[in-house]
């Protein structure tokens, strides 16, 4: 049955809503697709729901075709389940928690790895039951710190999430095989949805290599930063993007005597640069990290230090620190309490924590500034030479320098003293000659930037783009099965942890990304496959003969598999045309006494903005519309 405008709810808006910052958000509100209930919470109104439903059906069909089985899990999960994998802590304030009437704490699931693993652990005992790939289309809850851009980043959203289970990575039935199948299915899904996307390497997690890919719709309003080689053979998320080889040296001779300057009120590299009259790319940026895996101890350590300082009114004396070293239970002399990693990049670059972790050989996190201050570090004014005179007294430290910072040139740097910087810092004189070479490492530890060499090493240059992540495929490895004790018996009757993959798609983001990349100043230009309706019939006035013509025409179109919206409102034609452009169905058919006198209707394609429309004979129109829509579909 065709839909009559007056029998559904399409609250189009004349004005741009003030709160909408990006085109998709603005147009989804204006076209009456969604309504905001509260920050990051949206109602899908009938038009929006129809479009979403079409995307869901495409996703479902392709997942089924790729051999995945659909199921449905609860949105509520007991907190103990997330505690099994420590994600109860990892998710932090993003996790919605609540207490039920029995006093049990539950979470609204932000994703379902634990829930599916719990079920699999109960039912799957033997490798013979693997591989399996299970998926659901369900609501997820994340208390995002900055919900924004409409359904692009909200606190409640519908995701397709799939989880696969394997005994091996390689070979038939292995993770790689399903990963590839999901990757291909994603390409078909996004092709069918009419999206122009880029597949980028993303942070890879435990298995390493190309173990994670994101499907990104490139557009300026995207929140993700992507780098693409201009040779077209490499693209990656900035989180992961490697940089081609860069020459470096720590052996250059000094550019002058070390000169200390008082630099008051300089809170940023830019401010320091201005004050010292030095460009940021000639200033060393030092960021203090610590080994994340011993953070609990570090936190205790920081508390203890602060207690000591409070009691004695001064910084903790060294013997206390050493006593703590000796008492440490889970630590030996070689694994101290505060394992620091000092990252050095050029002032105009940013440290990449993933790369730094790989270079340091441990997971890093920013050093607690209190702890840093209490061991005497001039936080914000540290120099790489701190390795020679401060850190080694109390902690094991590793200095990791990005190749662009390991250069033979003029450098300004912190002076290891609050509000002071030095000029003419020299790597050899001020660090290398003073510390054991095993404590300094040069490695790619920064975010790639526009103009960097491509890691492929073919002379390609990396260029920056912005993108919207619509989907993500990820080789999880045994992270969840290890944490939750999910093993199966292999051919030799040995228990082996199950290897997992996970595959997500944000359904709302498909719509928003489609609109973001396909609209004009009048409204949305829907890709046919996810348009709320294929054909929008606009009668110039809805009475008499025209009513019957519209309903007959709609019946024929629907019989040909095209869904139809009829604008039966008693509005002026101008208003109806404006709304038709705004809601953006691919085909508009205008019916009037004039067109009927010629036994025709006027056909206009939404994507052909300038065209006047074409009179098509009444007995040809259905076939024409069907042809157009099938030509627009993949």
Which one of Mg ion, ligand ATP, none interacts with residue 471, CB within 5 to 8 A by kind? ligand ATP
> 73: which residues sit within 8 A by CB, 6+ positions away?
109, 112, 115, 116, 119, 136, 138
Residue 550 engages ligand ATP in binding (rule: CB under 6 A):
no
Alpha helices in 2-97 (DSSP H): 23-30, 46-65, 79-84, 87-90
**Does residue 240 interact with ligand ATP by CB under 6 A?**
no
User: Is the Cβ of residue 261 or residue 483 nearer to ligand ATP in the bound state?
Assistant: 483
Nearer to ligand ATP, 8 or 111 (CB): 111
Which is nearer to Mg ion, 143 or 402 (by Cβ)?
143
Q: Nearest 5°: phi and psi at 208?
A: 80, -175
Q: Cβ 481 to ligand ATP, closest distance in Å?
A: 19
Q: Which residue has the closest beta carbon to ligand ATP? A: 506
Among 30, 153, 576, 606, binds ligand ATP (CB under 6 A): 153
Contact flag: residue 470 with ligand ATP (CB under 6 A): yes
With CB under 6 A as the contact rule, the residue among 26, 50, 142, 588 that binds ligand ATP is: 142
Tell whether residue 476 is a contact of ligand ATP (CB under 6 A): no
Residue 625: strand, helix, or coil? helix
Contacts 24+ apart (CB under 8 A), 320-325: 321/375, 321/394
User: CB-wise, 40 or 384, nearer to Mg ion?
Assistant: 40
- Establish if 472 lies at the interface with ligand ATP (CB under 6 A): yes
Interatomic CA distance for residues 258 and 432, integer angstroms? 15
CB 533 within 8 A of CB 586: no
Which is closer to Mg ion, CB of 394 or CB of 472? 472
CA 541 to chain centre: 48
Q: Residue 523: which residues within 8 A CB-CB, separation 6 or more?
A: 27, 30, 31, 581, 582, 583, 584
Question: Of 409, 402, 413, 481, which is closest to residue 442 (Cα–Cα)?
Answer: 402
The number of residues in the chain equals 634
Smaller CB separation from Mg ion, 111 or 487? 111
- Residue numbers of the site for Mg ion (CB under 5 A)? 472
Hey, how many other C-beta atoms are within 10 angstroms of the C-beta on 437? 8
Q: Compute, in degrees rounded to 10, the torsion defined by CA atoms 62, 65, 69, 72.
A: 20
Q: Could you tell which of Mg ion, ligand ATP, none binds residue 111, using a CB distance below 5 to 8 A set by kind?
A: ligand ATP
Cα-Cα-Cα-Cα dihedral sign, residues 605, 611, 616, 620: negative
What gap in Å lies between CA 289 and CA 291, rounded to an integer?
A: 7
Cα dihedral across residues 540, 542, 543, 546: positive or negative: positive
- Residue 153: name its binding partner from ligand ATP, Mg ion, none (Cβ under 5 to 8 Å by kind): ligand ATP
**527 within 8 A of 511, measured Cβ to Cβ:** no
Instruction: Give min distance, CB of 476 to ligand ATP, in A.
Output: 12
Q: In what order do the strands lie in the sheet with 3-4?
A: 3-4, 564-566, 535-539, 587-591, 600-605, 614-617
Q: Which stretch binds ligand ATP (CB under 6 A): 316-324, 488-496, 504-512, 598-606?
A: 504-512
Q: Which is nearer to ligand ATP, 425 or 480 (CB)?
A: 480
Q: How far apart are CA 82 and CA 525, in angstroms?
A: 42
The piece of 9-17, 154-162, 529-537, 589-597 that touches ligand ATP (CB under 6 A) is 154-162
Of 10, 154, 343, 406, the one binding ligand ATP by CB under 6 A: 154
Q: Considering the complex, state which of residue 224 and residue 563 has its C-beta at the smaller distance from Mg ion.
A: 224
According to DSSP, the residues that pair with 397 across neighbouring strands are 340
Q: Closer CB to Mg ion, residue 430 or residue 516?
A: 516
**Of 202 and 297, CB closest to Mg ion:** 202
Residue 444 binding partner per list ligand ATP, Mg ion, none, with a CB distance cut-off of 5 to 8 Å that depends on partner kind:
none
The one segment of 368-376, 420-428, 441-449, 466-474 that binds ligand ATP by CB under 6 A: 466-474
Q: Is 394 in the site for ligand ATP (CB under 6 A)?
A: no
Which listed residue (384, 460, 467, 504) binds ligand ATP by CB under 6 A? 504
CB 170, min distance to ligand ATP, A: 25
Is 112 a binding residue for ligand ATP by CB under 6 A? The answer is no
Separation CA 229–CA 509 (nearest Å): 26
Q: Which two tokens stand for residue 564?
A: 């139809």
Closest to Mg ion by CB, 213 vs 519, is 213
State yes or no: residue 479 binds ligand ATP (CB under 6 A).
no
Mark residue 534 as left, alpha or beta (left: phi above 0; alpha: psi -120 to 50; beta: remaining): alpha
Among 469, 567, 579, 602, contact with ligand ATP (rule: CB under 6 A): 469
Q: How far is the CB of 257 from ligand ATP (least distance, A)?
A: 48
- Closest CB 287 distance from Mg ion, rounded Å: 25
CB under 8 Å to 613, separation ≥6 — which residues?
A: 588, 590, 602, 603, 604
Per CB under 6 A, does 270 bind ligand ATP? no
Q: Is 509 in the site for ligand ATP (CB under 6 A)?
A: yes
Q: What is the DSSP annotation of 469-486?
A: EEEEEEEEETHHHHHHT-
Considering only 131, 506, 532, 539, the residue that binds ligand ATP (CB under 6 A) is 506
471 binds ligand ATP (CB under 6 A): yes
Give how many residues touch ligand ATP by CB under 6 A: 15
Closest to 70 (Cα-Cα) out of 3, 139, 184, 160: 160
We find the least distance from the C-beta atom of residue 143 to ligand ATP, in angstroms, to be 10
Q: What residue ranges bind ligand ATP (CB under 6 A)? A: 111, 142, 144, 153-154, 157, 159, 469-472, 504, 506, 508-509
């Amino acid at each position: 049955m065709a839909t009559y405008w007056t029998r559904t709810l399409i609250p189009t808006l004349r004005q741009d809503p003030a709160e909408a910052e990006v085109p998709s958000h603005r147009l989804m509100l204006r076209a009456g697709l969604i309504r905001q209930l509260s920050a990051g919470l949206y109602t899908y109104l009938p038009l929006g729901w129809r479009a979403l439903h079409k995307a869901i059906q495409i996703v479902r069909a392709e997942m089924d075709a790729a051999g995945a089985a659909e199921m449905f899990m609860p949105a509520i999960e007991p907190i103990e389940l997330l505690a099994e994998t420590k994600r109860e802590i990892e998710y932090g304030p993003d996790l919605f928690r609540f207490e039920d009437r029995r006093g049990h704490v539950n979470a609204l699931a932000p994703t379902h790895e634990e829930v599916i693993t719990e079920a699999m652990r109960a039912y799957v005992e033997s490798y013979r039951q693997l591989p399996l790939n299970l998926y659901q289309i369900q609501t997820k809850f994340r208390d995002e710190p900055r919900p924004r851009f409409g359904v692009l980043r909200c606190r409640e959203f519908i995701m397709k999430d799939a989880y696969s289970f394997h005994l091996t990575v390689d070979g038939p039935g292995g993770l790689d095989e399903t990963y590839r199948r999901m990757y291909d299915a994603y390409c078909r899904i996004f092709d069918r949805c009419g999206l122009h996307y880029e597949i980028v390497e993303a942070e890879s997690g435990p298995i390493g290599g190309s173990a994670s890919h994101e499907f990104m719709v490139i557009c300026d309003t995207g929140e993700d930063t992507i780098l693409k080689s201009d040779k077209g053979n490499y693209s990656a998320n900035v989180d992961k993007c490697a940089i081609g080889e860069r020459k470096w040296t720590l052996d250059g001779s000094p550019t002058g005597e070390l000169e200390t300057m008082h630099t008051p009120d300089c809170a940023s590299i830019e401010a320091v640069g201005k004050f010292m009259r030095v460009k940021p790319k000639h200033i060393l940026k030092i960021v203090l990290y610590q080994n994340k895996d011993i953070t609990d101890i570090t936190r205790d350590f920081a508390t203890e230090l602060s207690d000591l300082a409070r009691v004695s009114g001064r910084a903790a004396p060294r013997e206390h620190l050493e006593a703590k070293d000796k008492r440490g239970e889970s630590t030996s002399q070689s694994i101290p309490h505060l394992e620091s990693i000092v990252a050095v990049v050029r002032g105009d670059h940013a440290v990449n924590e993933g790369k730094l972790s790989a270079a340091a050989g441990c997971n890093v996190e920013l050093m607690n500034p209190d702890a840093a201050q209490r061991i005497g570090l001039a936080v914000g004014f540290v120099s790489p030479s701190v390795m020679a005179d401060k850190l080694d007294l109390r902690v094991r430290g590793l200095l990791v320098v990005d190749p662009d910072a390991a250069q033979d040139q003029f450098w300004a740097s912190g002076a290891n003293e609050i509000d002071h910087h030095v000029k003419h810092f020299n790597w050899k004189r001020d660090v290398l000659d003073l510390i054991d070479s095993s404590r300094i490492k040069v490695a790619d530890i920064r975010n790639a930037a526009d103009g960097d060499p491509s890691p492929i090493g073919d002379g390609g240059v990396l260029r920056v783009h912005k993108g919207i992540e619509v989907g993500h495929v990820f080789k999880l490895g045994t992270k969840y099965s290890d944490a939750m004790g999910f093993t199966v018996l292999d051919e030799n009757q040995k228990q082996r942890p199950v290897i997992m993959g996970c595959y997500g798609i944000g359904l709302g983001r498909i719509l928003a990304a489609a609109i973001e990349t396909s609209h004009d100043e009048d409204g949305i230009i829907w890709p046919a496959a996810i348009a709320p309706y294929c054909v929008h019939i606009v009668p110039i006035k809805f009475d008499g003969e025209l009513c019957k013509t519209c309903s007959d025409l709609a019946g024929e179109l629907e019989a040909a598999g095209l869904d139809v919206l009829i604008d039966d409102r008693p509005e002026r034609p101008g208003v109806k045309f404006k709304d038709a452009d705004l809601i953006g169905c691919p085909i508009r058919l205008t019916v009037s006494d004039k067109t009927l006198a010629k036994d025709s209707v006027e056909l206009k394609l939404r994507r052909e903005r300038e065209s006047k429309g074409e009179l098509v004979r009444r007995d040809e129109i259905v076939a024409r519309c069907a042809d157009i829509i099938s030509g627009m579909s993949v």
